[in-house]
């Protein structure tokens, strides 16, 4: 399944790779060059809160992309987001670059239905393979354009670079959609509003 196996394309920098290990007790540690090590936190929470607010697509989201894999579509603001001409993730049906640069979005779609309750753990376990210090900062159910979906905010470090992901995860009998925005952690405040806007453009269309 296409679970965000190559979404670290924003980290196109040459940096020294960190080394990690797993203890006999199953704990993940970061190994430093000076012989020391650091115990990494692992998200053990299974709680997903419910956000009572109803989210809708913004009026500026006048451009649309319709999936050919399932029945989801995405409305977005073409002034803020441009469809990427170069495909960085072969699993993504659509990719977007922010017009300012340094912020990205992608929509991964497939025809397999996956329970929302399982998506949190699947996403996080795959993320840990690339960023062992990854942490879920928020996980909640939202109602977006009439759809019940899972919203997650995740942060972590890959090759010394701190990153953040904002994502919507939706699934029904027609398939599963992952819509994820990402940037460096230091740039989040600059792009957070635009992340929320493009995420709230996710909807279902009748085919």
Q: Sketch the domain layout of the chain as residue ranges.
A: 44-204
d(CA 180, CA 166): 6
Q: Exposed, middle or buried, 11 (CB in 10 Å: 0-12/13-18/19+)?
A: middle
Query: Which residues lie across from 184 on neighbouring strands?
Result: 163
pLDDT tens string 151-177: 999 999 887 889 999 999 999 999 999
User: What pLDDT does residue 34 have?
Assistant: 76
Q: Exposed, middle or buried, 63 (CB in 10 Å: 0-12/13-18/19+)?
A: middle
User: What pLDDT does residue 64 have?
Assistant: 97
Written as one string, the DSSP assignment of 88-104 is S-TT-SEEEEETTSSEE
Which of the 8 DSSP states describes residue 108?
Answer: E
Estimate to the nearest angstrom the gap between the alpha carbon of 167 and the chain centroid: 4
The candidate with the shortest Cα–Cα distance to 180, out of 104, 100, 102, 84, is 104
- Element at 200 (helix H, strand E): none
User: What pLDDT does residue 58 have?
Assistant: 97
Residues 6+ apart with CB under 8 A from 35: none
Question: Does the pTM of the predicted model rise above 0.75?
Answer: yes
Tokens 């949190």 map to which residue?
Answer: 120
The candidate with the shortest Cα–Cα distance to 65, out of 82, 50, 49, is 82
d(CA 109, CA 120): 16
Pick out the chain residues at pLDDT < 50: 1-17, 43-44
User: What pLDDT does residue 170 have?
Assistant: 96
pLDDT tens string 61-90: 999 999 999 999 999 999 999 998 777 778
d(CA 197, CA 149): 16
CB atoms within 10 A of CB 60: 14
Tell me: domain 44-204, CATH 3.40.1000.10, correct? yes
User: What pLDDT does residue 35 have?
Assistant: 73
């Amino acid at each position: 399944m296409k679970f965000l196996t190559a979404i670290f394309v924003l980290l196109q920098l040459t940096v020294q790779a960190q080394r990690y290990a797993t203890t006999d007790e199953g704990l993940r540690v970061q190994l430093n060059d000076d012989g020391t090590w650091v115990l990494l936190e692992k998200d053990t929470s299974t709680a997903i809160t419910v956000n009572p607010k109803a989210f809708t697509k913004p009026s500026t989201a006048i451009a649309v992309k319709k999936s050919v894999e399932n029945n989801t579509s995405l409305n977005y603001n073409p002034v803020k987001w441009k469809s990427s001409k170069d495909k960085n993730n072969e699993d993504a049906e659509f990719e977007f670059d922010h017009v300012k640069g340094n912020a990205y979005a992608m929509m991964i779609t497939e025809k397999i239905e996956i329970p929302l309750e399982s998506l949190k753990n699947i996403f996080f376990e795959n993320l840990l393979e690339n960023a062992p210090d990854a942490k879920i900062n928020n996980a909640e159910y939202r109602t977006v354009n009439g759809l019940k979906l899972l919203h997650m905010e995740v942060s972590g470090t890959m090759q010394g670079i701190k990153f953040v992901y904002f994502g919507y995860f939706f699934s029904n009998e027609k398939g599963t959609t992952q819509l994820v925005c990402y940037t460096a952690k230091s740039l989040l405040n600059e792009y957070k509003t635009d992340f929320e806007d493009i995420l709230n453009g996710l909807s279902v269309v009748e085919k």
